[in-house]
Structures are given as C-alpha cells and as structure tokens.
Amino acid sequence: MKQLILAGALAALAAPAAIPQEPMIVVAEGERFTTTSVATRKVTIPTAGRYRVWSRYQAPPYFDYAHRVEITQGGRTVFSHVYGRIDAPRFWSFSGAYNLPPIPQCWWPWGADHDAAEDPREPATPAAGEAEIRLVTVAGQKPAGDRMVDCIILTTRLEDAYKGWQPYGVASPFAHEALDATRLYVRFFNSSGGPAQLTPKKPVGHFQPSYGGHTWKIPGRAVEPGTCSEWTNIGPSLRLVHDENLRCGANYSPHGLALYYGPIGQWVDMFKHDGMGLFWTEDYVFSVQEIPQIVSWMFAVTRCAVKYRGQPIHFYALRHAGHAVDLLTEDDIAEGALEHYDVVHFAGEWIDPRLAPRLREWVQRDGILYACAGCGPKNAFGEPDAGMAALLGLKDSPIEKNMALFKTLLELPLAPPIDEITLGDVKIEAVSLKQSLVPDGAKVVGTWSDGTPAVTVREDGRGRAFAVGTPAFSTDLEWADFILLPQRP
C-alpha cells in the first residue's frame, strides 16, 4: 500500500543528505481558511493506480465546512470533489470505538466529536509522476463554519478503514498515518567517557485513546566516545500531550451533560465517602470546550465533591482565575448548609421533598431564592409535589419544551426562541422551555407574549422567592459575544 499525505499550510524541513528520502510521503502543517483561500503543493505520485482521497478536518456538528480538493497533472484536472457538506458521511474519532462506518454526524449529550475524515468513495486515478494538489475553499451552505483542514491523504487502500480503526487502536482517524509520515531527525555528539545512547521520553498524557507514556533508545546501537551518532528520525514517536503527572492519586473526570451538573452519586458522593482520591477535570476542558462561565459551573461540581475530605483538585487554571460558584447538593441543604449563603439558584423540574421546608425557613430569615427552568414541581420519582409551588406562591406551572440538552457553542446558537418575556421595558427571548405560571400569592413581574405570567416574586418574611418560567441564563449565553481564541492575521 502506498499513501501520500498533504496538508493545507505548506511547510518543509530540510534534512541532511544522509537521511533516506521517501518521496511518496509528504507531510505539512494544517491551517484555517477563509472563503478565498487556495493552498497548493507539487508532489510525486509513485505509481499510477486508484487512490482514495481523504480530507481530514475539524467538523463540530450542525455546520457546513465546504472545501474542494483538486488534483491536476499536465494542466488537466484528474480529480475534484467538494468535501465538508453537512450531510456528508465521514469517519469520526469514536468510529473505531463503536465500529461505525462513515456517518454524517456524531455527538452525545455531554459533547461532540469533531475529528472527521471524508472520502467521496470514487477513487482518483492519477498517472505516475508529478502532480499538483490544490485545497480550495468554496461557499458553504448555512449555517457555515470555519474550515480547519488538518491534512489530505491519498492512499491505495480502497476499503473504508484507517490504522487503528479495527482492531480499535486510536481514536482520531488517520492520526497514525500522519505520525508515521512525520520527519524530525536528530543526532548527538558523545562527549562522555563511554558508549552512550539518548533516551527520549513521552509523558503520560492525552493522545486518545493512547494515554500511556513510554521511553526508547536512539540510535539503535551505542555511540562510541568522541564520535557523532547517526541521524535518527524521531518524528513518528512525537505526540502533543498534556503532562498529567502533576499529582498521583485516583483520577475521576466529569463528562456530564452540557449545562447540567450530572448525577450527584457519581460526581460528588464518590468523593464524599472517600471512594476516589483526586478530582481530575482538565480533560473535560480539552475534549469538550465550553465558555468560561460553564467551565466555572463544572468547577462548582469539583469544589462540592472535595469539600468533605479536602482531596486535591487537578483544575488549577480555574482555581487561580478566581471562579467560585458553590454547588450545594440536596443532602447539603438537608444537613443545614444554607446558613452560609445569601442567595440560592435552583434550576430543574425535580427536587427532594425534604428541601422545601428548609428553603422556606431560610427565605423567611432573609434569603433570596431564584428558581427557574422547571421550578421543582416534582419529586425524585416524577410525582407531583406542592412544596416548591407553595414556597414560590404558585398554584401551577405547566411546562412546554422545544429542545433539551443543548450545548453552548453548538445547539444554543441555532436554537429558535420558544417565546418572549417582557420585563417592564425590556424584552427577553426565551429558549428551550416555557412555563406559564399560575400565581397563588406571588406578584407577577414579567409576562409572556400572550400576557400570561412568566416571572413572579413572593415576599416571605424578610426574604423573597423568585420564579422564572425558562432557563433565563441561556438567553444571555445565546446572544453573548464569545472570544475563544486569538484569530490569525
């Protein structure tokens, strides 16, 4: 099998003359493209034949990433195909894990797959000799995303497969092929008094799913004192990984539902009862990128989990940035934790019936309760429970939904409003969930477009209890201006 690997931004590393050359394999760096970009590379096709032409690119769900790959020889186009359409079948990072053929989209409630590899299935048939490969951006269908192409692969392997797909050995499609083609040569002068070899080390870290570290010796035989070693290619062994040997202990990493806290027994009680020793969350940020507010929300789970026994936290960036949103479990409230707080935010349809009396006592002392996104009309078994309704001053709060489990940078920007809330002179679009509140002692302070109550407040003792018939924070996130990474010039 012969294969050729090409990428968008073109780069080369000059090698010493003594290094053996393999002209059928070319590797370059990936790049981000605008709608007027064209990248070209002249290559040598080793033999005439049928070649699958794969584009490996980043493709978070719901968006179009249109780009065209062309192969020309002798002034004639011998291959042309538009990749990145939203409905195009592709390999994904989890294709091997689940034995999946190429499919158009791949995501879960906790996050999305984005490493994609696509091929039109009809092979190219270039002749042997010089060819030019062109990577061209074309207008995308709406909603269109930025094109981030990692590499282009030409291979005579005609079946739908890549190294590590089956048997499952690596998550990211064609990652091993690209690594095998990487060229970085090193040599050294042995100034010691005896024979010597270098011992490169790969630390433990993320290269999914190959997390383990390893060491090896170069060159293959010891170098005599006072001499130079031969040139050795270490490129195929290079990995860009996190150094995760900062602390030792049991690792436990949350991949809960986006914008949801996740199961208390799994993420909190495991540490409360000393079942795990180190809360490790950096891979959540690495694998499922979220805006800082939501990462801070996930950090609240971390702090809640370790507060009982003081276990270490592997989430140092947020700790030093000063994000401090406390999460209280239902057990915490039942055990008297409310006395340390002035304001409590509650979101959800289900609540432990033990809590309403505790919350009411706390509100009467001067607490501020903000309930939304369901306002707790049911107990843990999905049965009606009037405790929260009485606290909020409501008789009923029927729920209407048009979406669930939305992620901040994927579903939420595309979400249609379910209705609009009017608060005085301010109008706020609501997404995903709508409750038409029926007051029973509460004062109406906001209404839906049809005039029914959307926001209420009930005075109780020295405190107040607010009810909001939607996840109001989602509107702020939907229309916020996100600055994620510096843009390239």
Task: Measure CA 273 to chain center.
Answer: 30
Q: Given this model, what pLDDT does residue 23 score?
A: 28
Question: How far is the C-alpha of 406 from the C-alpha of 410, rounded, in Å?
Answer: 7
What's the pLDDT tens digit per position in 98-115? 888 899 998 876 677 889
Sequence spans of domains, the chain: 3-180, 189-237, 251-479
Question: How far is the C-alpha of 391 from the C-alpha of 358, rounded, in Å?
Answer: 10
Q: Given this model, what pLDDT does residue 12 score?
A: 26
Q: Given this model, what pLDDT does residue 398 score?
A: 95
Question: How far is the C-alpha of 3 from the C-alpha of 180, rounded, in Å?
Answer: 11
Q: Given this model, what pLDDT does residue 243 score?
A: 53
**Architecture of domain 251-479 in this structure:** 3-Layer(aba) Sandwich (3.40)
Closest C-alpha to 72, from 137, 7, 126, 6? 126
Which two structure tokens, joined as six digits, stand for 172?
């990211």
Is the separation of the CB atoms in 54 and 119 below 8 Å? yes
Question: How far is the C-alpha of 210 from the C-alpha of 199, rounded, in Å?
Answer: 20
Tell the CATH topology of 3-180. Answer: Jelly Rolls (2.60.120)
Dihedral, 44, 45, 47, 48 alpha carbons, nearest 10: -140
Peptide bond preceding 219 in cis form (omega within 30 of 0): yes
Question: How far is the C-alpha of 444 from the C-alpha of 422, rounded, in Å?
Answer: 11
Is the separation of the CB atoms in 89 and 102 below 8 Å? yes
Q: Given this model, what pLDDT does residue 261 score?
A: 59
Which residue ranges of the chain lie beneath pLDDT 70?
Answer: 1-36, 109-110, 205-211, 240-262, 276-300, 312-325, 475-489
What's the pLDDT tens digit per position in 22-47? 323 333 334 444 556 788 999 999 99
Which two structure tokens, joined as six digits, stand for 292?
């800082």
Question: How far is the C-alpha of 98 from the C-alpha of 166, rounded, in Å?
Answer: 10
CA atoms within 13 A on the CB side of 417: 14
Question: How far is the C-alpha of 46 from the C-alpha of 85, rounded, in Å?
Answer: 31
